[in-house]
Amino acid sequence: MVNTLPAVWPQCRPCGVITGNAGIKLVPLPDVYVCCDMVATRRYADAARVAQHNGAHLVTLKRKQVALIERDCEWYDEFLELGRGPATRETWGEFRYTGPLMAEYCCRRLGARDIVLVGCDGYQDGQDEYFDQPDRPAHKVLSSTPEQRTRETLKPGFESVARAFPEVAFHHVGPASWTVDAPNWHAVSEEMSCSGQCA
């Protein structure tokens, strides 16, 4: 994402920007910031507060008040109550990872017609879903391999959103270890153009 974002950014502005977790370090003032994981909400709370103060809309999952306080996100703007199973036209998909959730948010809440996905390359050894290299805790143990998380969770999450919103074009930018088999899903290079209704 660090290498791809500068190439894509000039082509997509002034479209809306949504980011999640550590993405706020690369885009300190997004239009929408999504953060759900306890470690990430705590770690990026200060950056999220600054973004909110400057106009960003902060989104997390609906939880009991004590859980929101524990995660230091009870002061966010929006608390999503999600469904079970894959996303459909009528219901939110079950939460898996932040990337598919952000794509679904763009479709449901922002009315995006084009979604440009940067930093959705798939998980690799030594990486996880919300830390960049210097911030990664050494003690974090994952129960599945990066390939399993990509194949079994990330990809199906995006697939359900793409299929639920066939009128939305998804532009998956940069090197990726996975793709979605849907007519509105496009793997693209860094050379692209946006319609003006994108996120």
Q: Which of 10-14, 49-53, 171-175 has the weakest average pLDDT?
A: 10-14
Is residue 195 in a domain? no
169, burial (CB in 10 Å: exposed 0-12, middle 13-18, buried 19+): buried
Grade residue 2 by pLDDT with cuts at 50, 70 and 90.
very low
CA angle 129, 26, 14 (to 5 degrees): 115
Is residue 49 in a domain? yes
Is residue 197 in a domain? no
Taking 90 as the threshold, does the pLDDT of residue 66 lie above it?
A: yes
| pLDDT tens sequence across 116-158 | 888 766 556 555 444 555 555 554 545 567 666 666 677 888 9
Amino acid (one-letter) located at 158: F
Q: Which of 11-20, 54-63, 68-77 has the weakest average pLDDT?
A: 11-20
Is residue 54 in a domain? yes
Is residue 199 in a domain? no
- pTM listed for this prediction: 0.83
Cα–Cα distance measured from residue 83 to residue 86, given in angstroms and rounded to the nearest whole number: 8
Mean pLDDT of 9-35: 86
Is residue 116 in a domain? yes
99, burial (CB in 10 Å: exposed 0-12, middle 13-18, buried 19+): buried
Q: What is the pLDDT of residue 113?
A: 92
Taking 50 as the threshold, does the pLDDT of residue 1 lie above it?
A: no
Mean pLDDT of 93-103: 91
Is residue 194 in a domain? no
Sign of CA dihedral 104, 110, 113, 114: negative
Structure-block tokens of residue 158: 């995006």
Q: Range of 177's domain?
A: 4-188
Numbers of helices and strands, H then E, in the chain: 8, 7
Of 41, 180, 28, 18, residue with least CA distance to 103:
18
Is residue 69 in a domain? yes
Task: Quote the number of domains for the chain.
Answer: 1
